[in-house]
């Protein structure tokens, strides 16, 4: 006997059914004995390459499945063995002005026009609009629902315009605060930039006209090198080399002033300063 199901994994209802019908159940060994290789081979379907279409057969089937319907109108549409052919319209399929004139002539217009025998018949036509009909269609409600509402912020006042003009001028002098004045200042020259560049070029050529002029300029120039300038190290050395002489009581420093605060006035300081100046002089 083959492997059987574990009853512990089944519901009670299934367990009861299995126990009551155990004789009718097949285990794996019994199924294998019934469905063997001979049983399978006897019931299998065998195909050969003839049962499958190759590329040529597929193409033939595809072409046979295509159909084209010509809906009429100018030109024609046809299909044959995988080829769709469209034949365009000829000149006879179009209407030129002379053909249209021949179709829509005075007789055609008269036979299709609407003739009114009097004014009342015309005004009573449902397609006729008079002032009362228009008023009924375009009422106050219609106008309000289709109008565009503006407020003061949608418009510019004189102050706004003045501000924008002043921003454009941006403090330009009175003689150059309009486009006409600027154009006049440029001699109404629409190529003022090119003219200015050319004038500068002309001045350059007037300044140095020959090699002799360049030689003269070079002979007049002064050439300096780094030894001609004093750097911070040189200045520091020169300051350190300065000796300040001592003049004894004739020299007034901060300590002397503080020590003699009670007896030192402006006249005293001036006298000492003059004496020091004479001594240094």
Q: What is the pLDDT of residues 187-242, one digit of tens each?
A: 888 888 888 888 877 766 655 566 667 777 788 888 877 777 777 888 888 877 77
Give the model's pLDDT for residue 2: 44
Q: Which of 100, 68, 98 is nearest to 83 (CA)?
A: 68
Question: φ and ψ at 131, to 5 degrees?
Answer: -60, -40
Give the model's pLDDT for residue 103: 78
Strand partners, 78: 85
Where in the chain are the domains? 1-68+78-87, 155-203, 245-280
Name the least confident of 38-47, 133-142, 147-156, 252-261.
252-261
Measured in Å, how far apart are the chain's first and last C-alpha atoms? 140
User: Which tokens go with 180?
Assistant: 């006409």
pLDDT digits (tens, 9 = 90+) for 134-174: 777 777 888 888 888 888 888 888 888 988 888 888 888 88
Q: What average pLDDT does the segment 84-90 reach? A: 78
Confidence of residue 21 (pLDDT cuts 50, 70, 90): confident
Give the model's pLDDT for residue 168: 85
Q: What residue spans of 174-253 are helical by DSSP H?
A: 179-185, 192-207, 211-220, 232-240
- 149, HSE (Cβ side, Cα atoms, 13 Å): 3
Compare 269 and 181 and report the one with higher pLDDT: 181
User: For residues 255 and 115, what is the distance between their CA atoms, to the nearest angstrom?
Assistant: 131
């Amino acid at each position: 006997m083959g492997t059987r199901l574990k009853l512990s994994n089944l519901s009670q209802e299934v367990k009861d059914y299995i126990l009551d019908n155990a004789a009718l159940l097949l285990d794996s060994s019994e199924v294998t004995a019934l469905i063997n290789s001979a049983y399978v081979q006897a019931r299998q379907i065998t195909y050969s390459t003839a049962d499958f279409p190759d590329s040529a057969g597929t193409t033939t089937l595809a072409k046979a499945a295509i159909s084209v319907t010509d809906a009429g109108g100018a030109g024609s549409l046809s299909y044959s063995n995988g080829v769709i052919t469209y034949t365009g319209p000829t000149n006879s399929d179009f209407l030129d002005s002379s053909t249209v004139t021949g179709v829509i002539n005075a007789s055609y217009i008269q036979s299709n026009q609407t003739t009114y025998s009097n004014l009342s018949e015309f005004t009573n036509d449902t397609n006729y609009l008079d002032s009362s009909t228009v008023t009924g269609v375009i009422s106050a409600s219609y106008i309000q629902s289709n109008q565009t509402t503006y407020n003061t912020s949608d418009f510019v006042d004189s102050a706004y315009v003045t501000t924008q003009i002043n921003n454009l001028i941006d403090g330009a002098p009175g003689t150059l605060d309009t486009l006409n004045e600027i154009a006049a200042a440029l001699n109404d020259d629409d190529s003022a930039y090119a003219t200015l560049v050319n004038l500068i070029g002309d001045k350059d050529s007037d300044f140095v006209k020959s090699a002799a002029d360049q030689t003269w300029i070079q002979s007049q120039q002064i050439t300096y090198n780094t030894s001609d300038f004093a750097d911070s190290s040189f200045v520091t050395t020169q300051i350190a080399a300065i000796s300040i002489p001592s003049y004894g009581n004739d020299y007034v420093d901060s300590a002397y002033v503080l020590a003699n605060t009670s007896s030192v006035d402006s006249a005293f300081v001036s006298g000492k300063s003059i004496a020091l100046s004479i001594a240094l002089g």
